[in-house]
Amino acid sequence: MLRSANLDRRLAATLQSFLEGVLDANVRHGRPGTYSLDYLRELSDEAVMDELLDLPGLKQKTARDIMNFTLGRAVLADDRQVRRVLNRMRLLPNMSGKVDRASYENLIPVKIRERLRVNLIHHGRATCKPKPRCTECSLISFCPTGQASLKPDKRPVAVEVFAGAGGLALGFAQAGFRVAVAVEKERNAAQTHRANHPGTVVLEQDVSKPLAPVIRAVAPWMGDVTAVIGGPPCQGYSIAGKRDPDDEQNELFKHQVRLAKELDARFVVIENVLGMRNIKGVSFTDAVEQELRNCGYNPRHRAVKASDYGVPQLRWRLIFTAQLNTKGNAPEVPIGKYCGNPALPCRCGRKHRAPTVREVLSRPGLPKLQHGMEAEFIPLADGHVLLNGSTMKHSQKVIEKIAGIEAGKGPISYRRLHKDLARTIVAGHRALPVHPDLNRTISVREAARIQGFPDEYVFCGTRGKQPLQVANAVPPLLARAVAEELIRVMERKTSDSAHKQHLEDLCGPVVMQLAFPAREESDGGAPEVVAS
């Protein structure tokens, strides 16, 4: 075996000496004639290390590997990849690169040491190489070395606040923006953002605190900021929420506008629910636009429907766009290319029909799992990997209840989705809506598809935290359309939005009638369908 691996000359003598040492050690411990290391299992970690280092040819790294993988001891190996990653993150007490094992093992819980070591080695080999690939690094948020090494490029720069799981950032990145920094104070959503946007520094901070100096410090390469984008929390505005005009969260948009002014960003993009147009007689759309004007921006807003942008949802949102008044008028929010009317051709003139829920759930890579199936990371026969595919386990009583629910009916936690266009992606407690065909709630992956996320987009945190991340996200396809419009404005190309204005009037009411015969789901002429 050694000869076939071309290792015989180098390792044969060492291995023979090592095995002789193991044999002698077993004799000393009353186990003559055996080459096992089982005699070490009853000893303390310190005693095991001493015994292993007494064996011929064994050094610290190999000894710790044996403790970790053979004896199941939760120790961190002194590996060059581990040293390199921790050193660049400035987590080693001794910055010469030597690992003070006692100090850094004390910082790491026993239950994650082995997994952390494997992940650090993988990261060191794949990304944090001797010549690091910092723009592809999901740990850039914690790495001062990486942050200082990033360089500007030709892409326009965006800073995202109220970032959530990163749907808005994904759309802007797909359009050609570089999202330099994202701010999201909820830990699970921030981790999701980091995992899917390598090279973006994600700050877990409160947007109400002074942020501009911090953002400049973690992205010293940034230079001019093109856009500050975000979707402030909407519980105070949403008809599925309290709709309290005095809710403190209703004023959070001011922090985004203030940050844009401090960073001297050219554009501001704010996404929110239609409910903010009027809350018990108070118009927050007027308040948003006035705040933008006060800070030197020309604003405008438009109600848009997700299905117009290729998302299988009749999900309405308000999009505010603004441009520095020294640069020109606010960009138009473009009208989408897709029609939600199932009976094309529609009088709106759109040639593309919006995909349906059934269609997106039937695409390859998403098997129809029954309830209670574990599918967080499953390689599939067609080459896809199923992420976040686990389905909630239901009691027989709940299954029978779900079986009797018609499309669009049921309580918020068990509302069955329509097969054509979803009316909502609401996360009620830990549950998502009911599958249009199966008698179970949809999985996080199925919800992500309905929101327009690619299958490789992974959601972090416990399963109870993931549904809300998906439900609160801005559909990336909608975000991309807005970002592309900003780029057209920067390139001084004529926007194609103006001559499409009639589409909104011709198509909207037709689809609305088909989808929302009941008045209680409308809000000022258009439905508010998501609680976020």
Residue 277, C-beta contacts closer than 8 angstroms, at least 6 positions apart:
283, 284, 285, 318, 523, 524
Residue 412: pLDDT band with limits 50, 70, 90: confident
pLDDT of amino acid 249: 64
User: Does residue 509 register a pLDDT over 60?
Assistant: no
Residue 270: pLDDT band with limits 50, 70, 90: very high
Burial class (CB in 10 A: 0-12, 13-18, 19+), 278: middle
At position 297, the amino acid (one-letter code) is: Y
User: Does residue 246 register a pLDDT over 50?
Assistant: yes
User: Does residue 417 register a pLDDT over 60?
Assistant: yes
User: Does residue 393 register a pLDDT over 70?
Assistant: yes
328 backbone φψ class: left, alpha, beta (φ>0; ψ -120 to 50): left
Q: Domain coordinates of the chain in residue numbers?
A: 20-71, 80-132, 140-355+477-493
Residue tagged 């029909």 (tokens)? 353
Which has the higher per-residue pLDDT, 473 or 83?
A: 473
Average pLDDT, the chain: 84
Rounded Cα distance between 144 and 218, Å, is: 8
Which has the higher per-residue pLDDT, 214 or 428?
A: 214
Which has the higher per-residue pLDDT, 162 or 425?
A: 162
Mean pLDDT of 463-485: 95
Closest CA to 316 of 518, 511, 496, 501: 511
What's the helix, strand, coil split of the chain in %, to 5?
40, 10, 45
Tell me if residue 513 falls in helix, strand or coil: helix
Residue tagged 């060492």 (tokens)? 14
Rounded Cα distance between 367 and 113, Å, is: 34
pLDDT of amino acid 8: 61
Residue 95: pLDDT band with limits 50, 70, 90: very low
Residue 430: pLDDT band with limits 50, 70, 90: low
pLDDT tens profile 37-73 = 999 998 898 899 899 999 998 888 888 888 888 888 8
pLDDT of amino acid 228: 99
Tell me if residue 324 falls in helix, strand or coil: strand
pLDDT tens profile 17-30 = 888 899 899 999 88
- For the question of whether the overall pTM of this predicted structure is more than 0.85, the answer is no
Q: How far is CA 259 from CA 210, 267, 286, in A?
A: 8, 12, 19
Residue 348, C-beta contacts closer than 8 angstroms, at least 6 positions apart:
339, 341, 503, 506, 507, 510
Mean pLDDT of 157-165: 98
Residue 474: pLDDT band with limits 50, 70, 90: very high
At position 443, the amino acid (one-letter code) is: S
Rounded Cα distance between 420 and 275, Å, is: 25
Q: Are strands 316-324 and 297-305 parallel, antiparallel or unpaired?
A: antiparallel
At position 494, the amino acid (one-letter code) is: T
Residue 429: pLDDT band with limits 50, 70, 90: low
CB 98: neighbour CB atoms within 10 A?
12
Closest CA to 263 of 177, 140, 180: 180
Residue 520: pLDDT band with limits 50, 70, 90: very low
Residue 64, C-beta contacts closer than 8 angstroms, at least 6 positions apart:
49, 75, 76, 77, 78
pLDDT of amino acid 448: 96
Burial class (CB in 10 A: 0-12, 13-18, 19+), 209: exposed
pLDDT tens profile 132-145 = 999 999 999 999 99
Mean pLDDT of 272-294: 84
Q: Which residues form the catalytic set?
A: 234
pLDDT of amino acid 235: 57
Q: Are 140 and 190 in contact (CB under 8 A)?
A: no
Question: Which sign, positive or negative, has the C-alpha torsion 12, 14, 17, 18?
Answer: negative
User: Does residue 183 register a pLDDT over 80?
Assistant: yes
Q: Does CATH place domain 140-355+477-493 in 3.40.50.150?
A: yes
Residue 309: both structure tokens together? 């942008």
User: Does residue 273 register a pLDDT over 50?
Assistant: yes
